[in-house]
Chains A and B, each alone.
Chain A
């Protein structure tokens, strides 16, 4: 269990630093490594730790380089393009939204050529013009979540369509909830998507 934590941290760190020039290394996970590899012999512990790091990096690189199959590619695309929902008149990312954004993170880290556009949308209630500003705020909020976790902000365009492009046409809470969203569109770099390391 401890090793899994360490491994994930290292892989994220290596992919993040090497591939995405991330400024936000998951420091907490990395620094847990020395304390979790407990050994009586200092030399043995060091060797084990170094071997683990080498193995982890090698595995991460191998995984990162592996080009996805058609089925995997479609799955990666659908994760990337999955919309993020928002509450009424709000632009904060919800718990559900965080899960959807977290699923995009490893794909964006692994595929550094990917460029995406986030479009912000609102439900039909309220001012059409204010809703355009709210839509932009939602798209920016989703972009900030990704950039705060190491994705270069230059890879993400934002645009707002307010209530102009509803996903559902009804005037009821179900439709409104579907329309309060950020959509994700792949602009480029998805020709041969690589599978993120597990």
Chain B
């Protein structure tokens, strides 16, 4: 088992985990090689990563962005800014002994060059450069495009360190004040996408992250629109009856949404370009909303009132074989809703009433084990990040409803938005690869 675990782990992670153990308080347990992979990732023994100061006028911004991104990734421990590690006197030659003494396992070096940014990751344990790459930095310093490119650099570092690409180069769409807004994953560049005259709700990204589908509540009914990120809008479903909670199919070719008329709201699927919709739920007069596809597009999770109260179901993409997602205890009368299928297909997050308030929960599909992710305040409408590890929720924990990002593995939460009344968030795919 030890061998297979080690084989599966990227080389640096293995070494970093080992060093984290050797330099930490759990030295005694480090002798038990079987436990290395298990202990890594429990929050206490993450590799220590130091981000070297960056030379140049914008160097401080570059360093701050990358340090924050790596911290938000929840896979490494970012060393304090003032960690006294000498910068390499000659490129590629680091004082590895000093780094090891400081408890550092990996060192991130970014050099601003005419072509953009040169990225170097040092492996302290192996005393060598592990990876290097130059990425371009478009736009003027501190512009949205420039910052996004740096987020891409952070994600590259995280991939080198852990084997899993980060989620810094992503955006989150949400609703505030009746408008759809889009914000970068670090909370920067929050800007409205829709006009103030339209009451918009339920944004969801196209799989390519370049456009957003949403519903607009109009006086005579609700309609479905697609907007690109510059605000160019086209209507997909006309305002006839209720048309809400749209979501793209995983291949981006279709849009599933809930359409309601007298006594019954059912799920429908329409081509992303518009046209005739076909029904994809069998609700028999009940209310069915909030569809979310499995990554292969063949299954669908949704909210349904078919049993008398709202609950989360999964069904085939033609509405057949509908099953309650999570069994209820016999005494429970919980209201459960708003599912979001994880991008890796393994889990579904949803909200459930717990003692009068709604909390975000995750259910693992393999064993149907349910875990409550939140407890403080109300935490509604969870939506997965592309890493299938973090979720964004609308939380009242600060006294005002804000978007927070929760790490489903450690429970660590950070506030994403600062304006009040934000809700109904959706996460984009990775925008830089």
Report A's interface with B, CB cutoff 8 A. Answer: 89, 117, 125-130, 132-134, 136-137, 140, 143-144, 157-161, 164
- Considering the complex, give the chain A residue whose CB is closest to the CB of B239: A159
Distance in Å: Cβ of A30 to nearest Cβ of chain B: 29
29 A-B contact pairs sorted by A residue (CB < 8 Å): A89-B310, A125-B358, A127-B303, A127-B310, A127-B380, A128-B202, A129-B201, A129-B245, A129-B258, A129-B290, A130-B305, A130-B338, A132-B201, A132-B222, A132-B245, A133-B258, A133-B287, A133-B289, A133-B305, A137-B260, A137-B263, A137-B287, A140-B261, A144-B263, A157-B220, A159-B219, A159-B220, A160-B260, A161-B217
CB pair B310 A130 closer than 8 Å: yes
**B201 near A126: Cβ-Cβ < 8 Å:** no
Which of A133, A143, A158, A161 neighbours the largest number of chain B CB atoms within 10 Å of its CB? A133
A128 in contact with B201 given A89-B335, A133-B244, A133-B289 (CB within 8 Å): yes
Chain A residue nearest in CB terms to B263: A140
Residue of chain A at shortest CB distance from B303: A130
A157 to B258, CA, bound (A): 19
Q: A132's contact among B242, B261, B358, by CB below 8 Å, is which?
A: B242
Q: How far is the CB of B140 from chain A (nearest CB, A)?
A: 38
CA distance A158 to B263 in the complex (A): 11
Closest Cβ of chain A to B271, distance in Å, is: 22
Interface string of B340-366 (1 = CB under 8 A from A): 000000000001000000100000000
* Cβ-based interface call for B390 (8 A): no
In the complex, chain A residues whose CB is within 8 Å of the CB of B338: 127, 129-130
B262 on the A face (CB < 8 A): yes
Q: Is B6 in the interface zone, CB < 8 Å from A?
A: no
Q: Report which of B258, B260, B337, B423 forms a contact with A126, defined as CB distance below 8 A.
A: B337
Which residue on chain B has the smallest CB distance to residue A120? B242
Most chain-B CB neighbours within 10 Å: which of A117, A143, A160?
A160
CA distance A129 to B203 in the complex (A): 11
Contact A133 B265, CB 8 Å, known A89-B309, A127-B290, A161-B217: yes
* Contact of B67 with A by CB under 8 A: no
Q: In the complex, what residues of A have CB within 8 A of residue B305's CB?
A: 130, 133-134
Query: Least Cβ distance of B377 to chain A in Å?
Result: 12
Q: B residues 303-323 with Cβ under 8 Å of A? A: 303, 305, 309-310
Contact status B303-A129, CB under 8 Å: yes
Mask: chain B, 409-433; 1 = CB below 8 Å from A; 0 = not: 0000000000000011000000000
On chain B, the residues within 8 Å of A158 by CB distance are 262
Name the residue on A nearest B178 (C-beta).
Answer: A164
Indicate if the CB atoms of A133 and B217 lie closer than 8 Å. Answer: no
Query: Which of the listed residues A117, A129, A134, A143 has the most CB atoms from chain B within 10 Å of its own CB?
Result: A129
Residue B297 lies at the interface, judged by CB distance under 8 Å to chain A:
no
Chain A residue contacts of B380, Cβ below 8 A:
127
Q: Tell whether A130 pairs with B242 under 8 Å between CB atoms, given A89-B335, A157-B220, A159-B221.
A: no
Q: Inside 8 A of A89's CB, which chain B residues have their CB?
A: 309-310, 335
Please determine whether B262 and A127 come into contact, CB atoms closer than 8 angstroms.
no
User: Chain B contacts of A157 at CB under 8 A?
Assistant: 220
Residues of B near A127 (CB, < 8 A) are: 289-290, 303, 310, 337-338, 351, 380-381
- Identify the closest chain B residue to A132 (Cβ): B244
Cα-based distance from A179 to B287 in the complex (angstroms)? 20
Q: How far is the CA of A129 from the CA of B245 in the complex (A)?
A: 6
- Tell whether A143 pairs with B221 under 8 Å between CB atoms, given A130-B290, A130-B310, A133-B242: no
- CB pair A143–B262 under 8 Å, yes or no, is yes
Residues of B within 8 A of A161 (CB): 217
> Given A129-B289, A133-B260, 7 other A-B contacts at CB below 8 A?
A126-B310, A130-B289, A133-B288, A140-B262, A144-B262, A159-B219, A164-B201
CB distance from B264 to the nearest CB of A (A): 8
Q: Which residues of A contact B241 (CB under 8 A)?
A: 136
Name B423's contact: one of A117, A128, A134, A144 (CB within 8 Å). A128
* Complex Cα gap A89–B261 (Å): 18
Cα A130 to Cα B335 with chains together (Å): 11
Q: Which residue of B lies closest to A135 (CB)?
A: B242
CB distance from A139 to the nearest CB of B (A): 9
B220 & A160 in contact (Cβ 8 Å cutoff) = no
B235 proximal to A (CB < 8 A): no
Known contacts: A136-B242, A136-B265, A157-B220. The answer to whether A130 contacts B337 by CB under 8 A is yes
- A137 — which chain B residues lie within 8 A by C-beta? 260, 263, 265, 287
A117 and B219 alpha carbons, distance in the complex (Å)? 10
Question: Which of chain A's residues has its CB closest to B199's CB?
Answer: A164
Q: Mark B252-281, 1 if CB is under 8 A from A, else 0.
A: 000000101111010000000000000000
B-side contacts of A129, CB under 8 Å:
201-202, 244-245, 258, 289-290, 303, 337-338, 424
Closest to B423 in A: A128
Q: How far is the CB of A24 from chain B (nearest CB, A)?
A: 18
Rounded to whole angstroms, the CA-CA distance of A133 and B351 in the bound complex is 17
Q: Knowing A160-B242, A160-B260, say if A132 contacts B178 (CB, 8 Å).
A: no
| The residue from B222, B287, B358 contacting A134, defined by CB atoms under 8 A apart | B287
Interface residues of B in 362-382 (CB under 8 A from A): 380-381
Residues facing A in B210-258 (CB within 8 A) are: 217, 219-222, 241-242, 244-245, 258
